[in-house]
Amino acid sequence: MVNAVDIKKVIAIGGSDPSGGAGIQADIKTLEELGVYAYTALAAVTVQNSKGVKSYDVLSAKFLRDQIEAILDDTKVHGVKTGMLGSSENVMEIAYLVSGQMIENSIIDPVIKANDGKMLVPEASITVLKKRLLPYCFMITPNINEAEWLTGINIRNVDDFVGAAKALKETGVEWVLVKGGHLEGGKAIDLLFDGKNEYYFETDKIPIKNVRGTGCMMASAICAFLTQGMQVYDAVGKAKTYVANKIKKAVLLGKGSLQAIHSFNEGELSEDRTD
Ligand code: PXL
């Protein structure tokens, strides 16, 4: 029996993906599957399907703030996860939120580009994110491309990884998780760094490449597990396993990339990936 007072609540802030593979829709599905109530605030609305992002509109910072205030006026949240913020003004809005309301468990997935390479934020917002938002945040979860954008460091090997993590740590963020799934080689290596200790997560690469929303699911899962009281290392490890299982079970529903499926239990989904 779960009492309402014990339910953990996370607000996911980002862009909508009408095809449900990435963005806010991936966040909601992940958070709810992991037993956390998902509140949301939209920073942007994209037009996309499994083949890619066609266009997007960014909502105003005022409208974003109104959505967040409506929720916080009504309830307390235990975590915040951000994705596509779309503008420097929206990044500043989240900086006010995290610093002013002192929301714990703030996980920043620094969404910069879509899988198809389309820029999802203006370049100027990347500096604002580093200088004005990260100093107040608990964790940033860039993949290699995002870590390169954020730091200017070319990441080719594990030493570069450490350099990028150190550079990001200097922004003031408490934890950096650089996800190395896209690095050459048979292993997927992620580095978790708190300024002192380097924790490596090494797994065999899963030979399924084109699943969308893995970064959204990863950051949401970490946020969910942290609100449930898990230690950082354990939360990251468990989130990795969660996302790996989603990749292994992903199915082709459209004409492009594969979709993660959240609505079936273990064993209910056949091995056939096509619709
Ligand atoms: O996966 C990053 C991402 C996040 N949020 C939205 C997106 C994407 C990638 O396309 O469209 C809305």
| Contact residues for 8 (Cβ-Cβ < 8 A; gap 6+) | 35, 36, 37, 78, 79, 224, 227, 228
pLDDT for res 259: 93
List 113's β-bridge partners, or say none. 119
What is the C-alpha to C-alpha distance for residues 84 and 97, in angstroms, rounded to an integer?
16
The answer to whether the CB of 256 is under 6 A from ligand 1 is no
Q: CA geometry: angle at 184 spanning 209 and 208, to 5°?
A: 15
| Contact residues for 116 (Cβ-Cβ < 8 A; gap 6+) | 52, 53
Residue among 216, 247, 259 whose CB has most ligand 1 atoms within 8 A, to mutate = 216
| Contact residues for 127 (Cβ-Cβ < 8 A; gap 6+) | none
CATH superfamily of 4-266: Ribokinase (3.40.1190.20)
Entry pTM:
0.96
Q: Which atom of ligand 1 is nearest to the CA of 212?
A: 1
Burial class of 52 by CB neighbour count within 10 A (0 to 12, 13 to 18, 19+): middle
Ligand 1 centroid to residue 17 C-alpha, Å:
7
What pLDDT, in 10s, does the model give residues 44-63?
A: 999 999 999 999 999 999 99
| Contact residues for 216 (Cβ-Cβ < 8 A; gap 6+) | 14, 22, 23, 26, 27, 30, 83, 109
pLDDT for res 112: 96
Kindly report the protein residue whose alpha carbon is nearest to atom 1 of ligand 1. Answer: 213
The answer to whether the CB of 148 is under 6 A from ligand 1 is no
Q: pLDDT over 90 for what percent of the chain?
A: 83
What pLDDT, in 10s, does the model give residues 108-145?
A: 999 999 888 899 999 999 999 999 999 999 999 999 99
